[in-house]
Amino acid sequence: MKRNRLLTIVLALSVFLIPAAFSQEKADAGMVNRIWEEGVNRSKVMDTLSYLTDVIGPRIPGSPAMKKACEWAKDKFTEWGMANAAIEPCGEFGLGWANEYISVHMVEPTYASLLAYAKPWTLGTAGKIKGQPVLAIIRTKADIEKWRGKLKGAIVLTDPPRQVHPVFKPYARRYTDEDLKEIMETPIPLQPKDGGGEKPEIKWEELGEFYGNEGVALLVESSDGSRSDFGTVKVDAYEGMGKNHTLPGQSPRIVMAAEAYARICRILDLKVPVTLEAEVRSTIYDQDKMGYNVIAEIPGVDKKGEVVMLGGHIDSWAGGTGAVDDASGCAVAMEAIRILKALGVKPKRTIRAALWTGEEEGFYGSRGYVFTHFGDTDKETLKNPDWEAYEKNWRNPLADSKKLIVKPEYNKISGYFNYDNGSGRIRGIYIQENFQVRPIFEEWMKPLRDLGVTTIALQPTEGTDHLPFDYVGIPGFQFIQDPIDYFPTLHHTNQDIYDHCVPEDLVQSAVVMASFVYFTAMRDEMLPRKPLPIPIEVK
């Protein structure tokens, strides 16, 4: 009886409350129509992508190519009529690096050109070198003792050969309804994920020092088995939790296609001598250790000082040309703001695009932007993150900080939208456990349904530049994108090139991103925020 009455009251209330709560959210379908018209008929997204990847190439922070990319993007923003286009420092990054040349061959027992890439931040060889490769798997202190004094001037194969297997399922896929349903399921996060993995017995710095002291001429790795084969080579550098770019003078190190590497090992097994010839030229840049983001705006006209941001990261690894990771994100964000500018919008809030640096090494650009503009904890958790502690305590990235110390800008940013999961079209958005944005985004997605944008996932997603915003309680989001062949083929490999981006998907993505950003800019209120576990102090 009592229960029924309560139910009646709840029902009666909801009749009043629900329409009121929803009335603020009106997705302006007319505006989506205009965004669509510009974005489909006069898209520049593939031109942007081509220039960043084909002409400029891979973009390691601190390299001449990265500098060129930032200048080009800034000029492009200005050409499109954006205000305040700037290259903005984001704090210290470390050493820059570029590979200028690599050539690797087997010359005995028969000739073969070998597919290999320089590992980021390694030095070049002492000119063209020639020698017998030695398979020396060093993982323990005992291994070090076994090989001490035996590797002077050697070409060292550092991994066991890896058998490749035929692939029976297609690499590329779109999310099915079933997949999207699964993404919507929210795991209750009581247990930490299996973070960290096994600790190696020898620290990478220690091993690097050993190779250096031994006078090793060249280190050769086999491409990682987490990526596909057929000449796909994974080329990144995460030793020491991504500290490669802070330590100069690492031995020349290359990574070779698994098939080529295994062939050398098989010949050695047959006790037939192998001779390799190799030359690597690379440069470490130590003059300017600062990191730089590219920023540009459409100024707001009404809500003075308030801002909505969008972006992707302009840095990349160097095996391919960083096309899906993440020139796609830059091209989409640039295109989204270009569309809005071309439509002559007068947003209430400022719309600000950001192309981040140093994402691959640990969100240097976005972290730097957040602690420079918005704030950091009393322990400077964002400025000096302890990644090991974070892996152990992933539910609480603010670690044991006592408070968040913020700047006035902190209370002026409505939200940040990121694009960095390949070149697959947008299927929805991860809302990072922010229950309050669901009804808002649901409304905004209604006119975008027929473009495949249907899914809101409450669960947080990791691994990219929305996180520093999210850590300090600023609504920061990454879109749900179709995976296509991001894994296992493209991510961080030599196949991360223009050719493997999907043009239709990038056009769709720019239209969706422009719509979300526009709605955020025009909303009466800023986006609602999640509560933080520590107090906030404005400085």
Select the span of 99-107, 283-291, 320-328, 446-454 touching Zn ion (CB under 5 A).
320-328
279 interacts with Zn ion by CB under 5 A? no
CB of 316 to Zn ion, least distance (A): 8
CB of 322 to Zn ion, least distance (A): 8
Residue 308 or 355 with smaller CB distance to Zn ion = 355
Residue 138 or 484 with smaller CB distance to Zn ion = 484
What are phi and psi for residue 29, nearest 5 degrees? -65, -30
Cβ within 8 Å of residue 296, ≥6 positions away: 74, 77, 78, 82, 83, 84, 85, 86, 337, 352, 353
CB of 339 to Zn ion, least distance (A): 23
128: left (phi over 0), alpha (psi -120 to 50) or beta: beta
CA dihedral for 158, 121, 53, 506, sign (positive or negative): positive
383: left (phi over 0), alpha (psi -120 to 50) or beta: alpha
Q: Which string of b and e fits 153-174 if b means at least 16 CB within 10 Å?
A: ebbbbbbebbeeeeeeeebeeb
CB of 147 to Zn ion, least distance (A): 36
Residue 57 or 161 with smaller CB distance to Zn ion = 57
Residue 313 or 349 with smaller CB distance to Zn ion = 313
- Strands of 213-306, DSSP E: 218-222, 253-256, 275-285, 290-298
CB of 456 to Zn ion, least distance (A): 23
Residue 276 or 510 with smaller CB distance to Zn ion = 510
Other beta carbons within 10 Å of 419: 30
- What is the rounded distance in angstroms from the CA atom of residue 422 to the CA atom of residue 204? 30
Instruction: Find the angle CA(365)-CA(371)-CA(376) to the nearest 5 degrees.
Output: 140
What is the DSSP secondary-structure string of 16-46?
A: HHHHHHHHT----HHHHHHHHHHHHHS--HH
Select the span of 87-95, 154-162, 317-325, 333-341 touching Zn ion (CB under 5 A).
317-325
CB of 363 to Zn ion, least distance (A): 10
List 99's β-bridge partners, or say none: 282
326 interacts with Zn ion by CB under 5 A? yes
Q: Which of 343, 259, 296, 239 is CA-nearest to residue 30?
A: 343
Residue 297 or 420 with smaller CB distance to Zn ion = 420
CB of 240 to Zn ion, least distance (A): 20
CB of 313 to Zn ion, least distance (A): 5
Residue 236 or 420 with smaller CB distance to Zn ion = 420
Binding mask 3-22 for Zn ion (x = CB under 5 A): --------------------
Binding mask 173-212 for Zn ion (x = CB under 5 A): ----------------------------------------
Q: Which of 422, 334, 337, 328 is CA-nearest to residue 50?
A: 328
- What is the rounded distance in angstroms from the CA atom of residue 461 to the CA atom of residue 434? 12
Select the span of 221-229, 286-294, 319-327, 526-534 touching Zn ion (CB under 5 A).
319-327
CB of 408 to Zn ion, least distance (A): 31
Site for Zn ion in 401-430 (CB under 5 A): 420
Select the span of 76-84, 323-331, 396-404, 502-510 touching Zn ion (CB under 5 A).
323-331
- What is the rounded distance in angstroms from the CA atom of residue 226 to the CA atom of residue 334? 32
CB of 76 to Zn ion, least distance (A): 20
- What is the rounded distance in angstroms from the CA atom of residue 298 to the CA atom of residue 338? 9
- What is the rounded distance in angstroms from the CA atom of residue 115 to the CA atom of residue 120? 16
Select the span of 326-334, 366-374, 426-434, 440-448 touching Zn ion (CB under 5 A).
326-334
DSSP state of 395: T
Residue 229 or 325 with smaller CB distance to Zn ion = 325
Select the span of 60-68, 283-291, 318-326, 473-481 touching Zn ion (CB under 5 A).
318-326
496 interacts with Zn ion by CB under 5 A? no
325 interacts with Zn ion by CB under 5 A? yes
Residue 325 or 485 with smaller CB distance to Zn ion = 325
CB of 327 to Zn ion, least distance (A): 10
CB of 359 to Zn ion, least distance (A): 5
- What is the rounded distance in angstroms from the CA atom of residue 40 to the CA atom of residue 34? 10
**# residues contacting Zn ion (CB under 5 A):** 3
Residue 297 or 325 with smaller CB distance to Zn ion = 325
- What is the rounded distance in angstroms from the CA atom of residue 260 to the CA atom of residue 268? 13
Q: Which of 187, 120, 108, 205 is CA-nearest to residue 155?
A: 108
List 332's β-bridge partners, or say none: none
Residue 38 or 325 with smaller CB distance to Zn ion = 325
Residue 408 or 463 with smaller CB distance to Zn ion = 463
List helix spans (H) across 302-413. Answer: 328-342, 364-373, 387-392
236 interacts with Zn ion by CB under 5 A? no
Parallel, antiparallel or unpaired: strands 253-256 and 116-118: antiparallel
CB of 64 to Zn ion, least distance (A): 21
Q: Which of 221, 210, 203 is CA-nearest to residue 149?
A: 210
Residue 259 or 465 with smaller CB distance to Zn ion = 465
Select the span of 48-56, 324-332, 336-344, 498-506 touching Zn ion (CB under 5 A).
324-332
Applying CB under 5 A, the residues found at the interface with Zn ion are 325-326, 420
